[in-house]
Amino acid sequence: MATHTARRTATAALAAGLMLGLAACGTGDSSAGGPIALPDTSSSTTSGSATSSTNGSTASPSGPSASTTAPGTVGPASPTTTAQPGATTGTSKPKPTTASPKPTPTKATPSQTKSPKPKPPTKPEHADLRSGDSGPRVLKLQQELSALGYWLGEPDGDFGHLTQQAVWALQKTAGISRDGRVGPATQRAIDKGVRPSTTLRGNGVDINLKRQILMIVRDGQVRYTLNTSTGGGYKYTQKDGDVVTARTPKGTFSVYYTVDGKDEGFLGDMWRPRYFNGGYAVHGSPSIPAHAASHGCARVSNAAMNMIWARNYMPKGSTVIVR
């Protein structure tokens, strides 16, 4: 019994020694590197030698204790390596790539070169020509009318008052609509070379009441044809109170009186009149419509009357035929 107890005591001491050595190795204490001294296991019932095991002796551990690690015991931890910023380890997942920022749109710098100013819109082309039009077509029209003797002054490419007067004179002569526009019918009359005829022999003025045209005749030939407006056939009151009809008397007359300027009368002003029968005269006016509208005189444009004076086409004593 005493021998059994002694063996258990020796075994416990041996285990305690081993644990002590392992503890010293785990802390890295250099003093634990030598042999571990076992406690004395002798007792009064044991002889002076160490307690025998099954083979009769107990071997003391030899060599450094740090070289022996008991199974299941965790050894000293390896030094921890701190990852440097930006370093990638073998086991770490790659960080997602940050998308590049979208480029900021740059506003276009306006060009320093000035753009040419847009041209004003041109007037739309008409199938016919009318007052207010201008350009090569109008110039061509004016030249054609002038060649036929329909006076309009100097061709300039602008369809103005005098061009309209000439168009009316042509339309009256051709017996077509007096609308003052140059459409297909008027253009055909121009292309045919329509001109009026006269009964006057020699020089003078021939006034055709039906056609409402005034012709300047030289050597029995019509040199110029003008739009005119004669007595309109309406009733009006004279200065003495008599009511009369606005009518231009027919016949053959002679110029007997002239006024070089504005002549102010009871029925209105007359520009540079040439009187041929009492108070009846050929004179200039700002209003010469395409129909008979006067009190009895033969109206022409102020520009036409200036031309008659400048070229002395109605001197005193010259013939005036009204028919």
| Catalytic residue numbers, as ranges | 283, 297
Q: Is the dihedral of CA 125, 126, 129, 130 positive or negative?
A: negative
Hey, what are 225's tokens?
């044809």
Asked if residues 262 and 271 have their Cβ atoms less than 8 Å apart, the reply is yes
Which of 131, 130, 128, 166 is closest to 148 using CA atoms? 166
Rounded CA Rg of the chain: 68
Strand boundaries in 51-122, DSSP class E = none
Count of CA atoms in the C-beta half-sphere (13 A) of 94:
3
Cα→Cα distances 303→119, 123, 150, 188, Å: 34, 28, 14, 28
Cα→Cα distances 154→57, 163, 230, 304, Å: 155, 10, 26, 12
Q: Is the dihedral of CA 239, 240, 244, 247 positive or negative?
A: negative
Q: Is the dihedral of CA 40, 44, 48, 51 positive or negative?
A: negative
Asked if residues 233 and 292 have their Cβ atoms less than 8 Å apart, the reply is yes
Asked if residues 298 and 207 have their Cβ atoms less than 8 Å apart, the reply is yes
The bridge status of strand 243-245 relative to strand 257-258 is unpaired
Asked if residues 126 and 182 have their Cβ atoms less than 8 Å apart, the reply is no
